[in-house]
Amino acid sequence: MIEFQAVRKEYQNGTVAVHELSLSVRTGTITVLVGPSGCGKTTLMRMVNRMIEPSGGKVLVGGTDVRERDPAELRRGIGYVIQQAGLFPHRNVLDNIATVPLLHGRSKQEARKRAGELLELVGLQPELGKRYPAQLSGGQQQRVGVARALAADPPVLLMDEPFSAVDPVVREGLQDELLRLQDELDKTVLFVTHDIDEAIKLGEKVAVLRQGGHLAQYAEPDDLLAE
Ligand code: ADP
């Protein structure tokens, strides 16, 4: 579903963030990119939705080179979840989630209804829909971020350290919730983390990156070698 073919990224200042890297993310599975800060995880992920263009090689989504896709159309099929949920501070939770279906031409009523369903799907009580983001805990905000990413029902989800800013206990709950959701919705997920335990827990496949954007290992969690 997502394929990186000899992908390379060199920024204008000469930094090589990704060094000829090939891997594929099987449809309906979670693949995790793990490695220390600065090893190219975010760069790699952002090439999938064309926020960053590769300097060499190809990125395919659903068998098509992303360069042949209109970026806006491509992004409708790709949900994006980041570390600090990135919610609109002046809209309540329900409206944060409903923004996406509204943009896609649903009526206000339909969009609100869908937002309510998504709230439930990510394990939040309906009452929370009326609150503003600042009135939620970090873990709750991340759940809203996931719900918003799911609002367009995208086949692909990009998740960039989505649970890193919450405390370890909450993080475990969020991880379990993601696995449950994944089981139910069957999305193709590319998940970035610097936490190897998180990678092992969530990934069907784990890609371990090393400084300079080198792929050190690419295996199922049970087959990873200790480093
Ligand atoms: P990670 O997500 O693993 O922390 P990044 O993909 O953010 O890594 O960054 C990889 C490397 O590219 C780092 O050395 C970083 O400093 C560098 N980098 C990221 N963005 C830019 C940019 N816009 N210009 C120059 N260098 C960048």
The CA 166 to ligand 1 mean position distance, Å, reads: 23
Quick one: pLDDT at residue 164?
Answer: 87
What DSSP element (H or E) covers 201?
helix 196-202
Both tokens of residue 191? 């998940």
Average pLDDT over every residue of 197-208: 96
Average pLDDT over every residue of 163-191: 90
Instruction: Please determine, for residue 119, whether its predicted confidence score (pLDDT) is greater than 70.
Output: yes
**Exposed, middle or buried by CB within 10 Å (0-12, 13-18, 19+), for 85?**
buried
Q: In angstroms, rounded to a whole number, what is the distance separating the alpha carbons of residues 43 and 171?
A: 24
Query: Long-range contact list for 7-14, CB < 8 A, 24+ apart?
Result: 7/44, 7/47, 7/54, 7/56, 7/57, 7/58, 7/59, 8/54, 8/55, 8/56, 8/57, 8/213, 9/40, 9/43, 9/44, 9/47, 9/52, 9/54, 9/55, 9/213, 10/55
Average pLDDT over every residue of 193-213: 95
Q: What percent of the chain has pLDDT over 90?
A: 74
Q: Model confidence at 187, in pLDDT bands (50, 70, 90)?
A: very high
Quick one: pLDDT at residue 82?
Answer: 87
Q: How many CA atoms lie within 13 A of 197 on its CB side?
A: 6
Q: Which of 10, 12, 13, 15 to mutate to test the pocket of ligand 1 (most atoms within 8 A of CB)?
A: 15
Q: What is the DSSP track for 113-171?
A: HHHHHHHHHTT--GGGGGS-GGGS-HHHHHHHHHHHHHTT--SEEEEESTTTTS-HHHH
Residues with CB under 6 A from ligand 1: 11, 13, 15, 17, 35, 37-43
**Exposed, middle or buried by CB within 10 Å (0-12, 13-18, 19+), for 29?**
middle
Q: Are 42 and 36 spatial neighbours (Cβ–Cβ below 8 Å)?
A: no
**Nearest CA residue ID for atom 12, ligand 1:** 17
Q: In angstroms, rounded to a whole number, what is the distance separating the alpha carbons of residues 110 and 199?
A: 36
Q: Are 29 and 202 spatial neighbours (Cβ–Cβ below 8 Å)?
A: no
**Nearest CA residue ID for atom 23, ligand 1:** 11
Quick one: pLDDT at residue 227?
Answer: 66
Average pLDDT over every residue of 71-92: 90
pTM of the complete model: 0.85
Sequence-ordered list of residues with C-beta below 8 angstroms from that of 198, at least 6 positions apart, any chain: 32, 34, 163, 171, 175
Q: What is the dihedral of CA 148, 151, 154, 160, to 10 degrees?
A: 10
Average pLDDT over every residue of 132-151: 91
Both tokens of residue 21? 């890297």
